[in-house]
Structure 1
Amino acid sequence: MRRSQLFTKTSKTTPADETVRNAQLLIQAGFIHKEMAGVYAYLPLGKRVLHNISTIVREEMNAIGGNEVWMTVLQPKDIWEKTGRWDDKKVDNWFKTKLANGTELGVGLTHEEPITDMLHEFVSSYRDMPVYIYQIGTKFRNELRAKSGLMRGREFLMKDLYSFSRDQKEHDAFYEKCAEAYMKVYSRLGIGDITYRTYASGGIFSQFSDEFQTLSHVGEDTIYLDETKRLAVNKEIYNDEILTQLGLKKDELVEKRAVEVGNIFPLGTKYADDLGVYYTDEHGKQQSIIMGCYGIGISRLMGLLAEHFADDKGLVWPENIAPAKVYLARLGEDPAVVKQADELYDSLMTAGVEVLYDDRPAVRAGEKFADADLLGIPYRVVISDKTVAGKFYELKARTSDTAGQVSAEELRKALGINS
């Protein structure tokens, strides 16, 4: 992508109405646009980051047998009445609307009801199971007070998976497999070492559910962490009885602030039973279906990563989620400089290296370098009169304070290009 074709711009100042670092940086760098409190539009570079995070999550969900779907945002009232969750006294933080004919609808907060109801068409026998269905889509939540930038919004991108198992053993096996897949996601995103499986309340379904909490100074949750066992307990269930049950010792736990980046819940048979979805076992007997749900906030992860991977100059994206791998800065309009920069851009793109090419003619070197730092792209390559005359490229990693002179071969090697 050429900067001259990118409609967004960076800003030298942080937005006055944002108090958290992730929103400040992402708006300043032109990754997102704030529509209103808790609602953000994703601009070209921000959409790339969101896509890259989604791809990692998608790959790990596919690896454990997930079937990806695209469910509707609008949901019928009747299926929520069957599970007892339409009443605002039961679920009070979601949006509802009406059709022109007065029919009431829910606006997607979660999808246990519609996905379970859909299985009427596809599940009747034990041979049809187990089933693991997930989606990556927009959710809406009527938060009383949206805050923390992308980490608590009224409209957000989420991966939610629902498992349908024949018995408890089958459910438990997948539940653990999904927990392992979650840790693979966080490791690939560069936060695996500071993300912990955390015991939390299981609500009406079980004693415990599992949260995945990433340590952060902007975290809204308090957890008590055993760093040796890599296990934690959410403050909401923290007491001596629970610690004894889990085999944890109070004097070995440290209190930490954290951001919940995922959760998995056992759901028992409630939703399938309430909606009348059953299967017939090998003996011809009708059986209840055991469910689980598994969520990861994609846009919340983007906000957390922006908080975590940043310095005083701007964002510092890991390579696998950055909007581009190389920021190519062309300095000057000398024909030889333009020719070499254009050729390098084409060559890198052909080799599969994503490049943001700063070909803006009237922008000074210092401004281009500042933008490269603010945008957080892993490598900056400079082509100028000096580099053309010296037959080298100037290469600087975003994580380094110094730039070096490299040959064409050394540049390709540094960028991981084999041929």
Structure 2
Amino acid sequence: MRPFALVLSLALARLPSAASSRRGLAACSCDCCVAEPRREAAVDEDEGWDCVLAQPGLRFDSSPFYAQPSPCGSLCLQAPGDEVFTSTETPEVDAQHYCFVACAPKGGGQRLPQQGGLCQHLPSAASAALRAATQRARPTAAPPLPAAAHFLLHDSAHAAAVAGRASASAVGSATAASGRALTSSAKDPASDKDMLKLAERAREIKRRYTEVADGEVAEIEKFSTRALEAVATAEAAASGAEQAARSAEEAERRVRGVLKNVRRLARAEALRAIPEVLDPLVKKAHQESAREAHKQAEMLEKERFLEAPRAAQRAAAPYKEAMLRAAEEAANYAERGRVYADRAQVLQMEAQAFQRHANLQSSQGNTAEAQRLMLRARALAEQAAYESSAADTDYRNSQSISEINVPEYARLASQAAHHAQVTVDPNTGPPLPPIV
């Protein structure tokens, strides 16, 4: 139904409804009109000008609508007290027809109007004369003149627009003559002959507009017939497309089912083939991994065997250095004790010599000298005793370091070396005996 609705909407879009045409329509005004010279040659130059609806794209320097869009539409609403259009059945009036009949060029202070100049409403006297002439020519009040189709259907074909403009030009000449006659009547009361002539022109205008409208109606009916035929064709095509879509959807559903079954069977077959394919591959991979691991283990064992002694030496080096320092310190203590002992022995010998000499002086009766020598002997004996005590202390320190510290450092060095060697190579044998 969507193609039918689309074609029907396009067909009905050309038929303007009364309700839609009244929405947004502006009141009829001569401000929407501009002055235009007639196409046919005029006898009187003053009467060679008409008012037409201002169209977009006018390029007149004197036009107030220069470089502006048209402020008015193709239809307008007539005023309740309109003095020209008194026998219309609807308030909508063709704006082009309104400008042509109810408006006259505004001359201003010049002799002739200018192209694109402003227009003004007909004077009250001219409007009354036009209304009286129309009523005398047809007492029952003529129906409203039909609007030119080419002003209402902007999207019609170019040929139809050209034909419409030609008809409007012919009708505009007669209507312009009526307007000029009315303008002259406003200046000078018209005679019955002039009024009859004006009525005849009005009937001619009506006839020409009726012919144009009949042609447009025939064209619309022809277009509507084609639209209905297109709707039928579109409905048939839509029905065929819908059936094809349903068939395609059913085929797609079947294909999806087949694809789903194929995937399920392929997955089951793949799972069944896993043991047959993977077991030999896993066994081969395990064998290769075992060979590589054995090779790496042999290389690591060799590296550990070579690295273990070096690690033991590095671990025992600090303790060996401490042991060497302790042995050196013990030797220093022993050497200093020996020096103290030698000095003590020398001092003891000197003290004994002074004591013997003091005894000799005492035996000779030299008491004072004997006492002095005895004091000297005692001082040397005391100094010898001090030196001997210092020598004993150094000897004891040297003996303690040699008997305690040095063996302890040797034991610690052996333990550190064994621990480092076992850490690097667990297959290491028992520790070495202590270094003495």
Determine if the TM-score, normalized by the shorter chain, exceeds 0.5: no
Normalising by the residue count of structure 1, what TM-score does the alignment of the two structures yield?
A: 0.18
Where is the strand percentage greater, Structure 1 or Structure 2? Answer: 1
Where is the helix percentage greater, Structure 1 or Structure 2? Answer: 2
The structure with higher relative contact order (CA 8 Å, sep 6+) is 1
Normalising by the residue count of structure 2, what TM-score does the alignment of the two structures yield?
A: 0.18
Structure of higher CA gyration radius: 2
